[in-house]
Structure 1
């Protein structure tokens, strides 16, 4: 069975847990960790940033001086040239102190100029990377009022000038992080492209490097937000902006591919930042729980509080583990990069996976034996590993079942896809947690016994969630309930709010 073979292949890619830094890289990272931590403890003031709804100038200046805005730019082009793993560790520190600053940094380099790193020509890299490393902000400009995750529906348009030297860009973007600060932007717009098969001209999305200095680029005021207030978020407008043809990024008509690669490549940084936030929150929660007394006891002695703290610790362990697992596969082969991308957006990718799988299904029921994990995990985690293997087996059967029932139309069955996506996450996160805990146990780490508990507890509950999700997509009762929920939603939307009146009749 194809899914089982794939699962066995992927297990080899998750075990052992990655340890990808050489000695020189570790030394470089340590030289950066200490000043970064000191900066956020002594210089940056997150409360003031939040109150003033902007990052203080002294903080921005300090971050530029630290090289924080150019962590992965090659050294010969003005950056620090860090690997994904080194980057993840530093971003984790930022997330532990000030997420608003984290968004400012991430919007600049995780997505803002990431397209130049991934798809830029040597000339584009030489021209722009030194600039975004030394004081010029970058932004990623994709979202529009009518276009969010559906990048192909954007309305902004760029047309080649009559002399063939420029694209003329018109349109607008919304919710752009760093939109009011950026001097250099990665902008996506529809362009007329000749279809090589038919010869007809069709609209396809293309990506461009746009400078504010080109003229015609303006922005609205910073958005008023409920949180992460100091990060600048604004609308950006383009009025007959003349973009030199050499600023086309990734080739004409390839904008969707460029956008998805940028977003997929940058998402591990978000997980790393939030794992830092989680670590800081756990510390705060524990400080309170161990100092607060009720009914003559510290509240950390009560089971209800213990469960809250334990769940925080479990979720942090899984988040941190997945962040660093996704960042060891930076230089993986194409097949592994596909797995990486699929797990970053499982709901979207499951449809594509199923379409391919439908071509390969050779029988309707039953699978070969589940992928064995005994030889991969520490002996103390074999029972947990067997639970994951059974989940993989059940998942494969569920996939076959929905493919037989829905075929390619499965991409439209989002009630089902959501539950398969949730099952995917629980299976993969359990596998990663077992991989990390196994490494700690085999290496006799001081936290090994604690990590074993984290992995065992997470895997047990994740396995139960997988079973519930997979059962729900095969149950007539649940499928009928999905239909009911769909109807409820349509009724509420049709009524433009709740359908029923207040129970008190006046």
Structure 2
């Protein structure tokens, strides 16, 4: 293979990586790379290294266990009262029917400290770690996703920017308030900017005296928008750059009490009906300059970090949702008799339950792997967090849908509660980064990382005598891979003996995945950023690889600790790994010209439908 030619091609591709599919995916990929030095950077991220064809085990094996004994004890004391509250006080059916949470329920949640789980104790919160937070969010997700959104919109994104970027004065002034009864909201989306967050129109201009920013604009679909007193608001601001005035997004802490802030009526939604969702309007709002969050012009970085930081919580909540739905389906299947047998004795039902259990197990593994890594101080977890959100929201929909199928007509009735859960779930594939955009984010960020290392190789070719080690190392990897001798990373010491076959298969598929990434770069060059069919397939492969590694790690931990369900966990992990690595093995075929031609055929058909405003083919009756 002509190494230099390949790297030049990659250099062109990466050089144009700022032309990502949307402003949000561009911002997320840029934010991930902005903190890195020029040239190839090193990372312990499993997913980033996957795009190089390397299996990096640092953040996957062993399964993270970041809680101290004291934290574990605290969590053990917190979970039972929260469980009891949701079982005995909260009424999800009434919340849904009334399209609001009962005041007594809200008061109880404030009393429990549920609105300030991660705020430091000295500022009025419970001071929980990410892993502790995930466990409590899992409880909420098992009972009422609408309440979960109210809690999450408040702390996972609403005031999270103050936790992450607030200075000492901002934290001291606002955090006691958001833990003491004042609601918070995250205000980014506008009528013209959904996934394209960079196109927001809301503006903030510095007042003549330099003491305030004058904020004007509006936001839509804001969770807690009608009840929030404290908001993280994103607006365009004029900044000086290279002697020119340009618009850049800035984050502000805005209080309703500043004046000029109003909100529309609550939206009538398909699901999560009890959560408050409204438009919010800003008319000549005077925001003190002290309320700039994270620096003027740094709003996009602030927004992306808030969203990246909170995504694991969505996976934790939906792991709880899936566990509850699986329990309901399993109990019904064990008691419902048809044709002289219980439903659980039929092979097709058993397969459904097994697949539901696999999806729940993977989702839960992702949630606690990401939160554990965050608690351990890992910095590169953004792709893994994105994968956890995509996988969890897709899986939860599938699990609850199958639960309804197992319950049959009973599942369709409101009394079982599953129809409400299904309606609640639909939004999770849309908000806080649509799954479509997040897949592109995973693929494009991974390609950018792989490309930076190939650029380093290109520089080595320019001065080969000084970089013989790197050149021969890369050449050796490619040669052994080309003749089928490459084996990949040795995971045997890191996994349970029962899973070593699956781990070896994963290691082999990771090598093949890296070759697919290189092939895509070689074929498309800089144009790869516009090849969404290719990017989506690469993202799917990344999801399969990371989920496989997560369950192999978790099940191995269960075996090592001799947990009661260890044998079952080993079988769950083995089953998931078999399916996921088989899909990984088919990735090269999915990227082959024939498969992509079919994709191009579909995109052309879609363009025709869009141009015609619907189906072009007339009824066969021609009437």
**TM-score over 0.5 (shorter chain):** yes
RMSD of Structure 2 on Structure 1 (CA): 1.8
Output the CA distance in 1 between the equivalents of 2:290 and 2:160: 18
Q: Deviations over 1:229-255 (max 9, x none)?
A: 101111111111110000000001101
Moved more, 326-335 or 246-255: 326-335
In the TM superposition, what whole-angstrom CA distance separates every residue of 1:309-352 from its partner, at most 9, and x where no partner exists? 00100000000000000001124556534554564544213213
SS in 2 for 1:435: helix
Deviation, 1:383, is: 0.7
Following superposition, the deviation at residue 148 of structure 1 comes to 1.4
The structure with higher relative contact order (CA 8 Å, sep 6+) is 2
CA distance in 2 between counterparts of 1:141 and 1:69 reads 18
Q: Which residue of 2 aligns with 1:436?
A: 554
Q: Answer yes or no: is the 8 Å Cα contact 2:119–2:127 preserved in 1.
A: yes
Counterparts of 1:325 and 1:5, CA distance in 2: 20
Q: Please state if 1:373 is matched with 2:491.
A: yes
Tell me how far apart the structure 2 counterparts of residues 298 and 369 of structure 1 sit (CA, whole Å): 46
Deviation of 1:397 (Å): 0.5
Could you tell me whether the CA contact under 8 Å between 1:342 and 1:350 is conserved in 2? no
Tell me which residue corresponds to 2:604: 487
Measure, in 1, the Cα distance between the counterparts of 2:55 and 2:517: 18
For 1:285-324, what aligned pairs fall within 5 Å after superposition? 285-324=329-368
Q: Is the 8 A contact 2:237 2:247 kept in 1?
A: yes
Aligned: 1:159 with 2:205: yes
Q: Which residue in the other structure is 1:179 paired with?
A: 225
Partner of 1:103: 149
Matched, 1:221 2:265: yes
Indicate the residue corresponding to 2:448 in structure 1: 355
Matched, 1:390 2:508: yes
| Cα deviation 1:28-72 (Å, max 9, x = unaligned) | 111110110110011111111000000000000000000000000
Select between 343-352 and 439-448 the one with higher mean Cα deviation.
343-352
- Please say if residues 346 and 424 of structure 1, whose CA atoms lie closer than 8 Å, have aligned partners that are also in contact: no
Note closer, same or farther for the CA distance 1:106–1:182 as it changes in structure 2 (3 Å cut): same
TM-score in terms of structure 2 length: 0.78
Summarize deviations over 1:345-364 as a string: whole Å, max 9, x none: 44213213313422433579
Structure 1 CA distance for aligned equivalents of residues 196 and 377 of structure 2: 28
132-141 vs 385-394, which moves further: 385-394
**CA offset digits 1:468-497 (Å, max 9, x no partner):** 333211x11111111111111110000111
Aligned 8 A contact 1:186 1:210 in 2: yes
Aligned partner of 2:304 among 244, 260, 274: 260
Calculate the TM-score normalised by the size of structure 1. 0.96
1:141: which partner in 2? Answer: 187
Q: In structure 2, what is the equivalent of residue 75 of structure 1? A: 121
Alpha-carbon distance in structure 2 between the residues aligned to 1:105 and 1:200: 42
Q: Deviations over 1:288-311 (max 9, x none)?
A: 111111110001111110111001
Map 1:9-28 onto structure 2 (within 5 A). Answer: 10-28=56-74
Gap change, CA 1:236 and 1:224, over 3 Å in 2: same
TM-fit CA distance, 1:213: 0.6
- Deviation larger for 368-377 or 137-146: 368-377
CA distance in 1, matches of 2:368, 2:439: 18
Distance 2:132 2:277 in 1: 27
Q: Per the alignment, in what secondary structure is the counterpart of residue 11 of structure 1?
A: coil
Long gaps (5+) in structure 2? 4-39, 41-48, 389-437, 458-473
Q: Structure 1 residues 382, 9: CA separation in 2 closer, same or farther (over 3 Å shift)?
A: closer
Query: Hey, what does 2:248 align to over in structure 1?
Result: 204
Could you say which residue in structure 2 is the equivalent of 1:477? 594
Structure 1 residues 342, 45: closer, same or farther in 2, change over 3 A?
closer
Matched residue SS, 1:360: helix
> 2: distance between equivalents of 1:58 and 1:308?
39
Number of equivalences: 503
Q: Paired residue for 2:287?
A: 243
Counterpart mapping for 1:107-126 below 5 A = 107-126=153-172
* Match of residue 536 from structure 2: 418
* Contact 1:93-1:276 at 8 Å conserved across structures: yes
Compared CA separation, residues 7 and 136, structure 1 to 2 (3 A): farther
Q: Deviations over 1:360-396 (max 9, x none)?
A: 3357965454122111111111011112112201110
Q: Does 1:29 find its partner at 2:79?
A: no
Q: Secondary structure at the match of 1:375?
A: helix
CA change 1:439–1:334 in 2 (3 A) is closer
CA gap 1:464/1:351 in 2 versus in 1, 3 angstroms:
same
SS class of match (1:14): coil
Partner of 1:131: 177
Secondary structure of the structure 1 residue equivalent to 2:495: coil
Give the whole-Å Cα distance in 2 for the aligned partners of 1:242 and 1:276: 42
